[in-house]
Structure 1
Amino acid sequence: MKGLDAIDRKILGLLQEDATVALADLSRGVGLSPTPCWKRVQKLEKAGVITGRVALLDPKKIGLSLTVFVSIETDDHSQPWLAKFASAVSAMPEVMDVYRMAGDVDYLLRVVVPDTAAYDAFYQRLIAAAPLKKVTSRFAMERIKATTVYRLPAPDVSEA
């Protein structure tokens, strides 16, 4: 999708706030009738701008009270190693995010588990999954901010 116009941005902003918003309310919120609004939503989904609609959960209320940021360094940067590592961590339900990094750390994982015993079990599976040079775990003490709402970039001057 080439660019997002002002109406697309409004649709995305409203859906990020509440993906369960009724089409009539969404349409009213962006100043369109329901059919053109729905077609825009479908276009945004088809283009991969909207990748899914989910219920966001409070991890503590479902027994997942420990968040761990795991830094990984490796000596192997080959495609076969990466494929093996990516496949292994993608299959681990405790891993919420995986990033390939620039700088002194090669990969950063966000892991959410019930407690330190569960993290230790995860850690044992992680280090068995692929050869790793260094694994550093940082335990979060408090979540101060968490959001899934992206700040939408301003429109290009040519769109105005």
Structure 2
Amino acid sequence: MLDDRDRKILGLLQADGEMPVGEIADSVALSASACSRRIARLKEEGYIARSTVELDRRKMGLPTTVFVIVRTGSHAAGWLEQFHAAVGAIPEIVEVHRLTGNFDYILKIVLPDVEHYDVVYKQLVGRIELFDMSAYISMETVKQAKGLPTNYG
């Protein structure tokens, strides 16, 4: 069960995963050792799934985002496994969500430029048969959260 200090610790770590324990402890009015134990518990209980580093997409040469809406012709277990393997094998596809409604999946693809979408498209359709794909180029990121809300759970 999370208390207010746990939630604040999680929020601080989401904002800066390299924040020193002493600074976190000061922010939540705990000793460094007590704060360190809480962080260890939060990891052990699975609230902190992993620690990563966020790279600058422009500096990495991937400033373009394309969202692709996919409709499938099959929902068989074998096809689903093949689809998961196909999207998993293409590193430019950074997110895949299964949807309700008129479409089956949405893919988030990061690219060096719009023209490179054709390369990813050919890789995907070469691995799996799809009924319909529609691509949408992101013109601007209006909001990109750096973490999850911490007031649940």
CA distance in 1, matches of 2:76, 2:40: 39
In terms of mean alpha carbon deviation, does 42-51 or 76-85 score higher? 42-51
Amino acid at match of 2:136: R
Unaligned runs of 5+ in 1: 156-160
Whole-angstrom CA distance in 2 between matches of 1:94 and 1:113: 6
Q: Aligned residues, how many? A: 153
2:13 paired residue number: 15
In the superposition, the TM-score normalised over structure 2's length comes to 0.92
What do the CA deviations read for 1:120-151 (whole angstroms, capped 9, x no partner)? 11000111221111111001112222222212
Over the aligned positions, Cα root-mean-square deviation in angstroms equals 1.5
**Quick one: which of 101, 104, 117 aligns to 1:103?**
101
Distance (whole Å) between structure 1 residues aligned to residue 2 and residue 135 of structure 2: 39
The TM-score with structure 1 as length reference comes to 0.88
1:153 matched to 2:132? The reply is no
Which one-letter code corresponds to 2:130 in the other structure?
L
Q: Output the amino acid matched with 1:85.
A: F
Between the two proteins, what is the percent identity of the paired residues? 37
2:27 — aligned with what?
29
How many angstroms apart in 2 are the aligned matches of 1:76 and 1:48?
Answer: 35
The unaligned stretches of length 5 or more in structure 2 are none
- The equivalent residue for 1:60 is 58
Which residue among 122, 130, 145 is the counterpart of 1:132? 130
Cα distance in structure 2, aligned partners of 1:53 and 1:19: 7
